[in-house]
Chains A and B, each alone.
Chain A
Amino acid sequence: MADFTASVYQNEFLPDGGTDVHAIVTVNCTGAGAAGQSGSGDAGEIIIVDTSGSMGRDGVQAAAYAAQTALDQILDGVWFAVISGNDRAQLAFPPSSEPVMVKMDPYTRQAAKDAVSRFYADGGTAMGTWLRLASRVFATVPSLSQKHAILLTDGENQHETPEALTQAIESVTGQFQCDTRGVGVAWQVDEVRRIAQALLGTVDIIPAPDQLAAEFSKLIQNAMSRGVAQADLRVWAPQGAEVLFVRQVAPTVEDLTSRRTAINPLTGSYPTGSWGDESRDYHVAIRLAARAIGQEQLAARVQLVIGDQTVAQGLVKALWSADEALTTRISPEVAHYTGQTELAQAIQDGLAAKAAGDTATATTKLGRAVQLAAATGNEEATTRLRKVVDIDDQETGTVRLKRTVEKADEMALDTASTKTTRVKK
């Protein structure tokens, strides 16, 4: 049985009249076990591969090989299917005109590999249709408590409107989780990131087709190691208080604030998807009515809940004090993740400005990103930023945009913008 713990990092002391409480809550999971083996339901896995004409013969072959490698990693007993997508979605395996899934065993694994080897490149790209089919396929197996998909694309979503994609994303949100990958440099980071964020997954670039197999293998291994099918973060705040935001801040920045569903007037629930043996950090900000010096109150109860069972709880406190030595301290964890969140935004804003030809804004934003990456010790971000800008002064964030930038480097900076580093203890 998985074991969860929650730790709270904050400065609970507020000055006279202070109202805003910030805390980092670290939730740690151990003993998660393997997907579909916890006894609380079955696991399902769908591999969605772009087979549009732009993939070309070599691209589709590489994708087919990657899908076969992924099939090898799916545990026996896990329900699965393979979808091939272009401007419409087809169930490539199991071979059926109706949505259906089968359990993995040596026979179905081989049959699926054979089906995948018959992929060919043709048609356009309409990812919304792929997502809708995946949702229908998952729905055929009522025993599934854990539903995960990986989606591979190589191009823009040209064959449906952005609104159609948005509607499709909305209709499947909460139905399954989806990690998304873009191969090459012809796809749109924003478009694919939207899918991943809504479906509690990750987004990344795979620059060359020969890297696909290793990436797919890793993604499935991750999914298979998530023995906790579904958990929610619950945040209680006192009557009259306002939850300013709830963000996941590690391993990546994801704003959860708008994903709240009310449990009761004081408690909101935020989906966190499945869990393996891992640790995630959440930044919770609460606005309270100020109390008198010396008073103490709870600002939030932050719980991880599986079903209706609370498996970990952290208490965020507020204590009003006249002692400036106490109230002026900033929690290093809160400061760190506040910086990392701004870093992600600065990178995305900078790249968007650069794409729009606004060199001045791009330089300012990416300069700020360089400064924040240095200040928070995010060396990976610094390395990626160096491929897009020349850094004159890290501390002041003085940079110049590089004249020539590899498109893949720019996309890698974009997709990895939300990745954070942990606080150095």
Chain B
Amino acid sequence: MDVAMTSTTETVCPSCGGPVSETDRFCEACGAELTPATTPSSTALDTDTEPTIEITAATVEEVGPCKSCGGVVGADGYCETCGVKAAKLRDHFEEQPAPWVAGVCDRGIRHSRNEDAMAIAADAEPGSRALLVVCDGVSSSLDSDVASLAAARAACEVLQAGHAQGLGTESSRGSAIAARLKAAADAASDAVLDNTSPDSPNPASCTFVAAVLEDGLLVAGNVGDSRAYWFPDEAEPVALTVDDSWAAELIATGVSREEAESGPHAHAITRWLGKDAPDHTPRTTTLHVTGPGWLVVCSDGLWNYCSEAAPLADLVRQTAAGCDGEPKATASALVDWANAQGGQDNITVALARI
């Protein structure tokens, strides 16, 4: 990672991908601070509290002992004692880079594979800096589970690499983060393409949503129908993203959300990442965080059961209250809740308690 970052900083801006020379301290295009910031910030991210599960393409197929009885799992993927199907790491994984940031990614009940993916990172100090990325693989395409994970991880790496610290105005910092979000979407798109067989009749594709919190600024961007929300404790809940979906287009024309999202094409998305994607530039929203609250980034496996910002905010707050405000327990409980509603889709919930 370090090697890649160094070579990146020498040739292109890690935030926006624009050309920079070695002597530049700031990017001409987006204003991001260049060389010094990258290494310290990633070191901070690496020295975090709880170890995170290493999810890579290589470990996705690995299985440990049976979670049900502790028996040996056979080569066919079932326990040799109790017969329970061994959960693949890919089917359910949890990450918590810092005590105040956590995510849970789960296969749900109905689907046979987990095509959702997430990648999250955070600095140790509560409320300082968090990066949450969720990608939802499109289940009608091939290898979307591999592609979505690669995309989320690639995006998170790009977001980590360029920490625009100490810049003057808030608006220039906001646009720098927004530019980095676009670069992250590019990296995610490249990762999807890298994991697509050139002759695939049905190329892998996935959605993309990322939220970046840095020094009180919250920037979110999305492609597709995975979402980000900001639920401040003392103010109205905010939906940070607008879906690129058939349903969202209907809503824009005046159809009620309930009607649009229960229609026959409710889950048809109009933009995505992948070989056949028309355009993958994320639409971004920037917000100034003034008080405590919950940042929620999730896939439709959660919001299918609670789409409006206000009831979802209530759900998150109540669930958090039942978990003593602990983010990982809260994310787990929200996944359990979605499974209890039917678990029709893969479910990913990433949270930051700010």
Contacts and interface: CB of A to CB of B under 8 A. Distances in A.
Interface residues of A, number: 18
Contact of B78 (A241, A266, A297): A297
Pick the most buried of B69, B85, B343: most chain A CB atoms within 10 A of its CB. B85
Contacts of B84: 238, 295-298
B76 A315 contact: yes
B82 to A, nearest CB: 5
Nearest to B110: A294
B339 interface: yes
B109 interface: yes
Contacts of B109: 293-294
B76 A298 contact: yes
B339 A294 contact: yes
Contacts of A313: 76
Contacts of B83: 237-239, 241, 288, 297-299
A240 B81 CA distance: 9
B79 interface: yes
Pick the most buried of B74, B78, B81, B109: most chain A CB atoms within 10 A of its CB. B78
A88 interface: no
Contacts, number: 42
A293 B110 CA distance: 10
Given A293-B109, A294-B343, A238 B82 contact: yes
Contacts of A288: 83
Nearest to A289: B82
The secondary-structure label for the interface of chain A is loop
Interface string B330-354: 0000000001000100000000000
A294 B84 CA distance: 12
Contacts of A298: 76, 78-79, 83-85
Pick the most buried of B74, B79, B80: most chain A CB atoms within 10 A of its CB. B80
A315 B78 contact: yes
Given A238-B79, A313-B76, A297 B85 contact: yes
Contacts of A296: 84-85
B346 to A, nearest CB: 13
Contacts of B80: 236, 266
Interface string B58-80: 00000000000100001010111
16 contacts: A237-B83, A238-B79, A238-B84, A239-B69, A239-B83, A266-B81, A288-B83, A293-B109, A294-B109, A294-B339, A294-B343, A296-B84, A297-B83, A297-B84, A298-B76, A301-B74
Given A238-B81, A239-B82, A297-B82, 14 more contacts: A237-B83, A238-B79, A238-B82, A239-B69, A239-B81, A266-B81, A294-B343, A297-B79, A297-B84, A298-B83, A299-B83, A301-B74, A315-B76, A315-B78
